[in-house]
Amino acid sequence: MRSGMERRFFLKAALASLAAPALWQMNGLAKRAGMLPENAEDTLTVPLSIGNGVRFYDRMIVITSPDGVAVVSSICPHLGCRINHAEAAELVCPCHGSRFNARGEVLHGPAMRNLQPLPFVLDRAEAVLRVTLKK
């Protein structure tokens, strides 16, 4: 015969094993409904002191000019190479030579799509640019 303490432990373990999958499923539903934040984003901070020009980062390209700021993904929409240099104000993919303008629009293929624009916030109070990257 089991002691009362053993029975209580067994009962708690049984309830936990039933509740865990239900909680996991509810958490997933809540995330899909936008009720919980997805932990699938990174925010990168770039100082505004970089001045005008094209700056290449691991997953993004920041283009600053007197006309404003553009931030685009550095991943080429052709086959996914990382774009890491510019020539004559054009972003150039090192793999197959696709070219994009400073807004990430295709100028020359083989890429058929523009570079993905990335959402950003200009925080003038802290003199930084905050860029959101999806993982």
- Does the protein bind ligand FES through residue 86 (CB under 6 A)? no
**Shortest Cβ 110–ligand FES spacing (Å):** 5
Among 69, 110, 114, 130, binds ligand FES (CB under 6 A): 110
d(CA 14, CA 8): 10
Size of the site for ligand FES (CB under 6 A): 11
Q: Bridge-partner residues for 125, per DSSP?
A: none
Residues 56-85 that bind ligand FES (CB under 6 A): 76, 78-79, 81
Phi, psi of 65, rounded to the nearest 5 degrees: -150, 170
Among 48, 69, 95, 106, binds ligand FES (CB under 6 A): 95
- What DSSP line would sit under 13-61, residue for residue? HHHHHHHHHHHHHHHHHHHHTTSS--S-EEEEEEEGGG-SEEEE-SSEE
Query: Binding residues for ligand FES, per CB under 6 A?
Result: 76, 78-79, 81, 93, 95-98, 110-111
